């Protein structure tokens, strides 16, 4: 069973915009929340969100780090980010599965 990717966004204060800080693989949103909170805990975030990558619609897929090429078997949900700065995944390019 392959796990979907959840993108992680956070900010340190209400005045700051949310920014993308990384991603986690998780079977559901609850585990994604836990993994995000426990993985990206080096900063004192005031807010953190996780978003299923499959829910992100890139305006320009050719330029997006969230691009997920559609496939018949729906494995688009497990495609990794490019250069998202996540732990160990910052340089993972394109459609490498885990």
Partner 1 sequence: MTDTLPAAAAAYEKADQLPDDVRAPLRDLVLALADSKRVLGLRYSDRMLGSPTLEAGIAASSMAQDEWGHARLTYALLGDFGDDPKALEHERAAAEYRSIGVLDAGLEGWNGMIAASLLVDMALTGQYAALVDSRYVPLRNRVQKLLDEEKFHFQYAAGWTRRIAAVSELRAGLAAELRRFLPQALRWLGRDEAPGMRRLVEEGIVRDLPSARRGRYLARVGAVLEETGLAGEVGLARDGEGWRYDGELDWAGWDDATRRAGGSLDEATAARARGDLNRALLMD
> Helices marked H in the chain — which ranges?
29-39
Of the candidates 5, 46, 48, which has an alpha carbon nearest to the alpha carbon of residue 26?
A: 5
27 binds partner 1 (CB under 8 A): yes
CB of 87 to partner 1, least distance (A): 8
**Using CA atoms, how far apart are residues 34 and 24, in angstroms rounded to an integer?**
10
Among 11, 20, 31, 75, binds partner 1 (CB under 8 A): 31
Query: Does position 38 bind partner 1 by CB under 8 A?
Result: yes
Stretch that binds partner 1, among 37-45, 51-59, 66-74, 76-84 (CB under 8 A): 37-45
């Amino acid at each position: 069973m392959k796990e979907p990717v959840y993108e992680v966004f956070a900010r340190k204060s209400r005045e700051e915009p949310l920014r993308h800080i990384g991603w986690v693989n998780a079977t559901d949103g609850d585990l994604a929340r836990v993994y995000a909170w426990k993985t990206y805990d080096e900063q004192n975030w005031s807010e953190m969100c996780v978003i299923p990558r499959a829910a992100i619609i890139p305006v320009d897929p050719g330029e997006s780090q969230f691009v997920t090429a559609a496939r018949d078997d729906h494995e688009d949900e497990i495609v990794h980010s490019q250069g998202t700065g996540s732990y160990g995944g910052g340089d993972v390019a394109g459609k490498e599965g885990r």
